[in-house]
Structure 1
Amino acid sequence: MSRWKILTKSIIAPIVGILSFNAFVAYKIGHSERRPVLLALFVLGMNYLEITFKSGDIKLKGWFILGDSNATIVIAHGYGENKAECLDYAEFLHKASYNLLLFDFRAHGESEGNWTSNGYYESDDIIAAVNTLKRTFPLMWRKLECLAFQWG
């Protein structure tokens, strides 16, 4: 084999390897493993409504947990998680009388979507959740807070 072929292969092989690795990492970041929602809220004794709303063309699913006040906290889970994984916080805040809105971001839990944008479109998901809260429960969003994990 000529020196040029060896030199060309020794340059191209690492470049192809690096590009392949970068493509794999980008795919894994954008496509988190979807964890199913395995816990029902009635087990914890909380009154709740299942809600569905849209963020762009994506249907998102969530729970509105009724509290004893007009203050509401939106709880946003982290990357690769779902709304059920925030129930420890929800249980604590519900005992303090807060209304709570927990929802699954796009491509997580029970929501639609096949990929995440690592925050870019997920910010639209938060805005859609708050707008749904304003429309559906007009008296319960005036005192509004957000508790977010990782990217929320």
Structure 2
Amino acid sequence: MKPLYSFFVCIFLFATHAAKAQNHETLKSINLEVWSSFTKAYETLDFNLFASIHSDSLIRISGNSKHIKNKMEYIEGYKSWWKDASLNQTISFRFLERIQNGEKASERGIYKLTQNAKTSDEKSYYGKFHVIHIKENGVWKILVDYDSNENDSINESSYQSAFAIDDFSKF
């Protein structure tokens, strides 16, 4: 009986380890295909790159302004906003929850948008987001994107209390 029990314990431990490794690889792919490109698009004001990380079926919800937009409406807003080539900004993300099954993913977290970094005009803005990703033609895309600053209650403390983008051990 004891050898059989040991066998099942070993199988369980192996399966758990393999599942975590696969989960971490999927999160690395999402980081590379979505979040890295998202950040680069913000920093370079590249609305084409920004558009490329969103599904054509995108549903964009802004909790603050109470608007729901499709991809075209959403990207047009960025085209207009990013016309100012002198805009100096960066965006970063930390996570509260990351759930995925290899083809779909749900991620909740806190973003920090900083404009005019390392100048006397530096200003940071924070919000809570929830995105749903899908794989389209083998590439991760944002299908649903919701964010809100929760009545200005999201701040640096909220941001720091979430988990780093590359801290996969929590998920």
Higher relative contact order (CA 8 A, sep 6+): 1
**What is the TM-score normalised by the length of structure 1?**
0.34
Specify the structure having the higher radius of gyration (Cα): 1
**What is the TM-score normalised by the length of structure 2?**
0.32
